[in-house]
Structure 1
Amino acid sequence: MSLLELFIIAVGLSMDAFAVAICKGLSMKKINIKKAGIVGLYFGAFQGGMPLIGYFLGVQFQDKITSVDHWIAFILLAIIGINMIKESRNSSCEVAVDTVADVNTDNSLSFKNMFVLAVATSIDALAVGITFAFLNVNIIPAVSFIGIVTFTLSMIGVRIGSVFGEKFKSRAEFAGGFILIIMGLKILLNHAGIINF
């Protein structure tokens, strides 16, 4: 997997965290670099950690399903992408944060609130980690890269939320879902020999 492909997947995966970071930014009375950094660290660490767990789970079954691994990668990425697109239709930040974590959209950055949000927004990355195992991706650089991209975009999301508000949340989720579907389709078509890039 090329660096560009990994970057595209990292951006796609981070869109859930980005959308929730926008909501966090909306709810905070005062934004500073420390608060944005806390949000970024939680989301970046979990978005990088979940694929690592998924990778080790996937390695356990890799030799048994190599003949259909491209289909599994496509199906997992497509399901994640479709779910993100469906979620993008719900443009309410209050509903997004409350549904994910059952917390109020206040400026609370407590461990409990942020832990639940970080886990909920990174579950999709677990499935991507399984896909990485089937594609023999070099996992440590990959998860580090995903974590850094998510950290950066989450910090930006907090700032966007404080300045521009809700309108970017649904667009971010839609874009992330679309990106993951396209990447899954590319893996499938590459394996079938229809495309070769």
Structure 2
Amino acid sequence: MSFYSLFLIAIALSLDAFGVALCIGLNRAVTRSNKVLCVTSFGFFQFLFSIIGAYAGFLFNTYIASVPKLIGGALITIVGVMMLKEGFESKDECPLIRPGMFIVLGISVSIDAMVIGFTALNNISSNLVILKNTIFIGIITLIMCTIAFMLAKYLKRISLVGKYADYIGGVILIIFGIKMMFF
């Protein structure tokens, strides 16, 4: 696989993590340590799931390929509903920064990496190449999520965005989750 192809795959895989990180970053209750946990979780699970997919791809390619989109979409939709609920309750606490939530989010945005591992990365014969490619995917996701948080920092300054961030983020995640499940 060429570097260009791998780079495009890594960017495509990181876009859902980018969107979720942007929505999380719009919430004023999210701290720097929450952002670091989120970015680390997203990058790690992208790496982990792509390497699992690459090694197990020939066994599970036909059976699991259709399931991950449904599971990931459902989890992201649930997170979106939680964000909307948080907006309606007008609490100062963000449900997305509760302990363990970063693991759930990391898994939900990374399930598609397993599918890519099943289909695109399992043809590589060298274990070292598979490891390098999957680490690259994790690093690209980490970078994209960091960019999302930096972008959210500036979007929060717009009073309308900052005031309705939970609603905006929740609706975006629900739409994205539904799209992921059915399209």
Bin for the TM-score computed over the shorter chain: 0.5 to 0.7
The answer (yes or no) to whether the contact 1:100–1:120 under 8 Å persists in 2 is no
Q: Which of 159, 162, 171 is the matching residue for 1:174?
A: 171
Gap runs ≥5 in structure 2: 122-132
Q: Which of 118, 123, 131 is the matching residue for 1:134?
A: 118
Per-residue deviation, residues 10-54 of structure 1 (Å, max 9, x unmatched) = 23223333333222xx248xxxxxx86x66544333211111122
Q: Which moved more, 1:145-154 or 1:169-178?
A: 169-178
Q: Which of 7, 21, 25 is the matching residue for 2:25?
A: 21
| TM superposition shift of 1:167 | 1.0
The answer (yes or no) to whether the contact 2:72–2:109 under 8 Å persists in 1 is no
Question: Are residues 120 and 166 of structure 1, via their aligned partners in 2, closer, same or farther at CA, if it must alter by over 3 Å?
Answer: farther
Corresponding residue for residue 89 of structure 1: 84
Question: Are residues 77 and 123 of structure 1, via their aligned partners in 2, closer, same or farther at CA, if it must alter by over 3 Å?
Answer: closer
Question: Are residues 141 and 70 of structure 1, via their aligned partners in 2, closer, same or farther at CA, if it must alter by over 3 Å?
Answer: same
Q: Name the % identity.
A: 8
TM-score of the aligned structures, taking structure 1 as reference length: 0.60
Q: Which moved more, 1:177-186 or 1:156-165?
A: 177-186
Q: Which moved more, 1:150-159 or 1:39-48?
A: 39-48
Letter in 2 for 1:131: V
* Correspondences of 1:1-197 after superposition (within 5 Å): 7=11, 9-23=13-27, 26-27=28-29, 41-92=36-87, 94=91, 97-98=94-95, 100-101=97-98, 118-119=102-103, 121-137=105-121, 138-161=133-156, 163-164=158-159, 165-179=162-176, 181-183=178-180, 185=182
The answer (yes or no) to whether the contact 1:22–1:159 under 8 Å persists in 2 is no
RMSD (Å), alpha carbons: 3.6
TM-score of the aligned structures, taking structure 2 as reference length: 0.64
Distance 2:35 2:101 in 1: 12
Question: Are residues 154 and 99 of structure 1, via their aligned partners in 2, closer, same or farther at CA, if it must alter by over 3 Å?
Answer: closer
Number of aligned residues: 164
SS at match of 2:48: helix
